[in-house]
Amino acid sequence: MKKMEPKQVVCRSAGAMQMPENAVMADSQISAEVLVYVDESVGSGVVAYGFVVKKGGETVARESVAFRMPYTPPACFATCRGILAALRWLLEHGVHGPRVRVISDNNIVDGMPDQRRQFRRTRESISEAADELKRRAQALGTDCEVTFERMPRALVAEADRLARTAFERMENPAVKKLEVV
């Protein structure tokens, strides 16, 4: 019997930024390290994550997403979903550098990829996205190292705020900006 994915109600933050399709980065931006801060908020069947992407000291993206599930998964599930979303954002917008540091306060980051069965598909997708970032950088004649690091919550405060805001909006039935995916 095929396992059914739960329908997800997504609340995207209005703070997400998009790079223009024809954006040209200066040489200093191309060679700059990319920092990706990810955090989550989970409870009562609501899962939320937020991520912030910084390159060369400038914030290039902020996004938060919340969705409902028929059960409350562990926080590391939301962290993995946030990491995957951030890596996909980098791929979609062609953002990379000699080093991409994915930073979270969740201990799932310590053992990436983690060996828990329930996260296997998400972990594989994260590995594939990280490998694709490396391949695209190599195609442009540069190297790209992708690392996963655990840092104190204070260092991921902006991503934490985004996740909490998305979580609170999802908890509030008056929120009207919801889309079904």
Tell me the mean pLDDT in the region 10-28: 41
Measured CA to CA, the distance from residue 22 to residue 7 in angstroms comes to: 35
**Is residue 13 situated within a structural domain?**
no
**Is residue 11 situated within a structural domain?**
no
Residue pLDDT, tens place only, 71-127: 888 888 888 889 999 999 999 998 888 889 999 988 766 555 445 566 677 778 888
**Is residue 3 situated within a structural domain?**
no
Q: Between these two residues, 65 and 108, which has the higher pLDDT value?
A: 65
- CATH code, domain carrying 55: 3.30.420.10
What is the number of domains present in the chain? Answer: 1
The pLDDT score that the predictor gives to residue 177 is: 47
CA angle 102, 105, 107 (to 5 degrees): 95
Query: Domain residues for 150?
Result: 26-180
**Is residue 64 situated within a structural domain?**
yes
The pLDDT score that the predictor gives to residue 16 is: 40
Measured from the Cβ of residue 171, the count of other Cβ atoms closer than 10 Å reads: 16
**Is residue 145 situated within a structural domain?**
yes
**Is residue 77 situated within a structural domain?**
yes
**Is residue 36 situated within a structural domain?**
yes
Tell me the mean pLDDT in the region 51-70: 92
Report the chain's C-alpha Rg in angstroms. Answer: 16
